[in-house]
Structure 1
Amino acid sequence: MTTISTATAGWLALRAPADDDARSADLAHELGRLLAPASEASPLVLHDLGAGTGSMTRWLAPRLPGPQRWVLRDGDADIVEHLDLRTVVDAAGRAVVTDVVVEHLASLPLDAFAGAAAVTASALLDVITEAEAAHVVAACVAAGTPALFSLSVSGSVRLRPAERPDDLERAVESAFNDHQRRDASGRRMLGPDAVAMVGARFAGAGWRVRTVATPWRLARGDTALIGEWLDGWIGAAVEQRPELAHAAAEYRRRRLAQLAAGRLHVTVSHEDLLAWPG
């Protein structure tokens, strides 16, 4: 059993349909209302942080007016090789223009978003540090640029059928959440605390903040994703608390049997956050 990688093209492709189903269309609509009119000569410029293979752009661009130019920012040069935005259009059906910047968040200039219409990110806040998140917030505030951050893990998981008692399941959940907050190579990630921390930073700057629960709801049609997610969830928990290994292995066997029988349903909590100047 291994911990899933959150930075491979294969994993991002596997989770993409669940991500698209979960994201908040309501917050996307609200963001659209905040955008100023644009023209071919002066398109909307949107920066996507931790762009990966471009899933946020593919989902959001058709929900926003245009014309649009996207700046895709990611610190992983290998992952952006898998960007595929050839068919992406805005709400009026116009093709979007894209630029790619390979750059770690720690190197993000404070004026990086000057003149931008919006900043976006997907599945990013929970895997960055408090200092990195504060830097992103400061850059948004400096530019007065609204921000939409989607699919940050918020810590709660529900599997059905329920186990009684569910003490082991709660122990795995707690250990996984601690693993998400772990110090990795000198970087202590925010994990499930991310949305609360980032929301408080924006609110402290006098900005308005909205959050919406955006859980994955996985069932019979999501067998491959559930299997990968389950291995990653349990693997991370055992890495954090090795004493769980024996009981977790038996728990995994039971859940995989339910998955094979088409009986396993999983809800993985996430939150979307929209912030804009007050």
Structure 2
Amino acid sequence: MNAFSAGWLALREPFDREARAGACASFDLEGLAARLRGEASALTVLDLACGTGANLRALAPRLGGVQRWTLVDHDPRLLAAMPAVFTPWARATGLSMNTGGGRLCLEGSALKVEVEMLHCDLAQPLDAALLGRHRLITASALLDLVSVRWIDALAVCARKAEAALLFALSVDGSALWQPSLRDDDGVGRLFAAHQRRDKGFGPALGGDAVQWTAARLSSLGYEVTQAASDWRIDGRDGAHSMAMLRAMVEGAAAAAIEQDPSAAPWIRDWTAQRLDRVERTTLRVGHRDLLATLP
């Protein structure tokens, strides 16, 4: 699986958080948590490809109550960074935090979250027993990286476990730069083709991931709800937004050149023009959130 740096995850998290706020309003997450918890003392949640825990930080306060999370990632460096990342967030949200034995415990007046971190390569066959121990299976920015075969295996395991699924921030293939440049579409086409390369799970679905997953889960009896969770990045908003735009420009250019090295001259021209305009550029990147529950 491709590596993601803690720096990149920190750079994108404010845009993820803003994008998810609208999408989460479309889902009754507190009601979902109550239904999934049932008579149990805690809601059990499995977070796949957790990075430094942004998905938990977005969801746990909305789910509420007592929760037990298992956070899974293939990169031990991201797992090791998690306590340091959670400390300022816990302080800002009024939660106490205790660490020890590879676990975190976050607690406030209306929320208690026990967190176990697990080093695991998700590109290997999925552990059905692990999935079966959790009532909610979730992931953020993962679906577009994986293959039809991987999603099918996950869907079948989740159905056997009668678990709900919540996938956040999967790209839908759309991107709108303003002001526009002549080569925006050309770079976009090459970038989209690069997204479909094998990321370790087989040929990636890229912008088709959400629709394909929704259809597969529906065929297994799930009720599926979707909501838009688009990134909106405006260079006029300050240094962090400009840094994100530069990362997006440079990342798109690098992927496009890797996809078609012969296009490097005009892609480098596009990159220079985009970077020169970053202070007055806006970018909308289309994403979708998907919630699947059993009747």
- Length-normalised TM-score, structure 2: 0.84
Residue type of the alignment partner of 1:133: I
Distance 1:256 1:52, change over 3 A: same
Task: Give the equivalent residue in structure 2 for 1:227.
Answer: 246
Q: In 2, distance between residues paired with 1:6 and 1:175? A: 21
- CA deviation after TM superposition for structure 1 residue 185, in Å: 6.3
Task: Give the equivalent residue in structure 2 for 1:128.
Answer: 146
Q: After superposing the two structures, state which structure 1 stretch, 225-234 or 95-104, moved more.
A: 95-104
Residue type of the alignment partner of 1:80: L
Q: In 1, distance between residues paired with 2:60 and 2:200? A: 35
Q: In 2, distance between residues paired with 1:129 and 1:92? A: 41
Q: In 2, distance between residues paired with 1:102 and 1:263? A: 42
- Give the SS at the match of 1:33: helix
Matched residues, number = 268
Contact 1:62/1:90 (8 A) holds in 2: no
User: Is the helix fraction higher in 1 or 2?
Assistant: 2
1:243 aligns with 2:262: yes
* 1:62-94 Cα shifts (integer Å, max 9, x gaps): 111211111101122222111134526578543
Distance 1:99 1:215, change over 3 A: same
* 1:119-176 Cα shifts (integer Å, max 9, x gaps): 111001111222222122112111111111000111111110123xx3x211111111
- CA deviation after TM superposition for structure 1 residue 34, in Å: 2.2
- CA deviation after TM superposition for structure 1 residue 60, in Å: 0.8
In percent, how many aligned pairs have the same letter? 34
- CA deviation after TM superposition for structure 1 residue 187, in Å: 2.8
1:147 aligns with 2:165: yes
From 184, 187, 197, the equivalent of 1:182 is 197
Task: Give the equivalent residue in structure 2 for 1:76.
Answer: 75
Residue type of the alignment partner of 2:155: V
Q: In 1, distance between residues paired with 2:3 and 2:287? A: 15
Distance 1:188 1:112, change over 3 A: same
From 112, 116, 125, the equivalent of 1:95 is 112
Task: Give the equivalent residue in structure 1 for 2:42.
Answer: 43
In structure 1, list runs of 5 or more residues that go unmatched: none
Q: After superposing the two structures, state which structure 1 stretch, 112-121 or 29-38, moved more.
A: 29-38
In structure 2, list runs of 5 or more residues that go unmatched: 96-105
Contact 1:111/1:143 (8 A) holds in 2: no
Contact 1:62/1:91 (8 A) holds in 2: no
Q: In 2, distance between residues paired with 1:45 and 1:153? A: 27
* 1:163-207 Cα shifts (integer Å, max 9, x gaps): 3xx3x2111111111101013568312211211121111011011
Residue type of the alignment partner of 2:177: L
From 2, 9, 15, the equivalent of 2:6 is 9
From 107, 128, 134, the equivalent of 1:110 is 128
* 1:201-234 Cα shifts (integer Å, max 9, x gaps): 1011011111112110000220001101110011
From 32, 38, 47, the equivalent of 1:34 is 32
- Aligned-residue Cα RMSD (Å) equals 2.2
Q: In 2, distance between residues paired with 1:41 and 1:30? A: 19
- CA deviation after TM superposition for structure 1 residue 41, in Å: 7.1
Aligned residue runs from structure 1 range 183-198, under 5 A: 183-184=198-199, 187-198=202-213
- CA deviation after TM superposition for structure 1 residue 104, in Å: 1.9
Contact 2:233/2:245 (8 A) holds in 1: yes
- Give the SS at the match of 1:53: coil
Contact 2:146/2:201 (8 A) holds in 1: no
Distance 1:39 1:142, change over 3 A: closer
Contact 1:127/1:190 (8 A) holds in 2: yes
Residue type of the alignment partner of 1:234: A
Distance 1:146 1:155, change over 3 A: same
